[in-house]
Amino acid sequence: MATFVAAFEARTSFIAPDHRSARPWLFGIAANVVKRHHRTSRRQQELRERLGSQRPATADLVGVVDDLLTVATALDALPDDDRETLLMVALGEMSYDETAEALEIPVGTVRSRVNRARTRVRADVAGSAGGAS
């Protein structure tokens, strides 16, 4: 099924008059789907193995959730442009150049936004930790 979904999405790359059969094209797509599945499965297994030994005790989960809420609150307080840029770089794992291209802004603006956002999030998190102690 995934092969046919991928084929449908890539249908513009298949030009019927130039090909006698769609089979080689579909097999190529199927091979890529299988490779992607194996790569994803392998990465998930590696992550499970890494986290298995690092899983916090139940009592520690309250602290973890509290930390996540603190960071989420700090991110929410950022201006939309700064937050979007930071998330593209930090979570989206995009380079500054890729982010600049995606947002149609200069690379220097990306650098400024990321620096400003990181500085503010760090300050907000540190302020929250200082107030909780």
Q: Do both 79 and 99 map to the same domain?
A: yes
pLDDT digits (tens, 9 = 90+) for 39-65: 888 888 888 777 776 655 666 777 777
69 and 11 both lie in a single domain: no
- Is there a single domain that holds both residue 30 and residue 62? no
Rounded Cα distance between 100 and 104, Å, is 6
CA dihedral for 98, 3, 40, 83, sign (positive or negative): positive
Distance CA 1, CA 55 (A): 35
pLDDT tens digits along 9-27: 777 776 656 666 666 667 6
CA-angle at 68, arms to 62 and 69, nearest 5°: 90
What is the span of the domain harbouring residue 38?
Answer: 2-52
- The domain tally of the chain equals 2
pLDDT in tens, 80-125: 999 999 989 988 888 999 999 988 999 999 999 999 999 999 998 8
Same domain, 63 and 126: yes
Q: Verify that 18 and 78 share a domain, yes or no.
A: no
